[in-house]
């Protein structure tokens, strides 16, 4: 009963400098990924900032066309206590909800992308300082 092992552990020689080359390649890939994250988040920030300008203009126009401020000024009137239900419904109906939602969403995207850009830049600078 002389059984041969299914496999044997033999030592394999690795080329010299392989570990250093692999570590450098990993570091290079990580650096490139950080740079791409910075570029993409800055591009999204710029695009949302550029879109925010016409969106805020559209929001201002929507508020002007809906006479929202006129209805809102009725709250200071003495009749507001008597007709508060009608005034509150009029205020809600005159609110430009679609434009307001779009503008708030753009502000959210702008803040999120700026946060991601700042995080990526600070991570990148931290990595460069430790290198």
For 55, the 3-state DSSP assignment is helix
Residue 24 falls inside a structural domain: no
Name the most confidently modeled range: 10-19, 79-88, 92-101, 122-131. 92-101
Please provide residue 15's backbone torsions phi and psi, each rounded to the nearest 5 degrees: -65, 150
Residue 18 falls inside a structural domain: no
What is the pLDDT, as a whole number, of residue 8? 72
Residue 105 falls inside a structural domain: yes
pLDDT confidence of 113, banded at 50, 70, 90? very high
Alpha carbon distances (Å) from 99 to 50, 56, 102, 128? 16, 9, 5, 43
* pTM of the full structure: 0.69
Which residues span the domain enclosing 67? 41-130
Residue 20 falls inside a structural domain: no
Q: How many domains does the structure of the chain reveal?
A: 1
What is the pLDDT, as a whole number, of residue 128? 62
Average pLDDT over residues 109-125: 88
Q: What percent of the chain has pLDDT over 70?
A: 92
Average pLDDT over residues 19-27: 93
Residue 31 falls inside a structural domain: no
What is the pLDDT, as a whole number, of residue 127? 66
Residue 77 falls inside a structural domain: yes
CA–CA separation, 42 vs 44, rounded Å? 5
pLDDT in tens, 63-86: 889 888 888 888 777 777 788 888
């Amino acid at each position: 009963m002389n059984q041969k092992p299914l496999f044997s552990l033999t030592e394999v020689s690795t080329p010299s400098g392989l570990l250093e080359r692999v570590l450098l390649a990993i570091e290079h890939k990580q650096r490139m990924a950080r740079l791409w994250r910075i570029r993409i988040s800055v591009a999204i920030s710029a695009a949302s900032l550029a879109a925010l300008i016409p969106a805020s203009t559209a929001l201002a126009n929507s508020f002007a066309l809906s006479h929202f401020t006129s209805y809102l000024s009725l709250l200071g009137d003495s009749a507001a206590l008597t007709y508060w239900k009608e005034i509150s419904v009029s205020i809600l109906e005159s609110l430009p909800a679609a434009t307001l939602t779009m503008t708030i969403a753009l502000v959210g995207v702008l803040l999120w992308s700026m946060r991601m850009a700042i995080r990526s830049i600070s991570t990148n600078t931290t990595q460069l300082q430790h290198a």
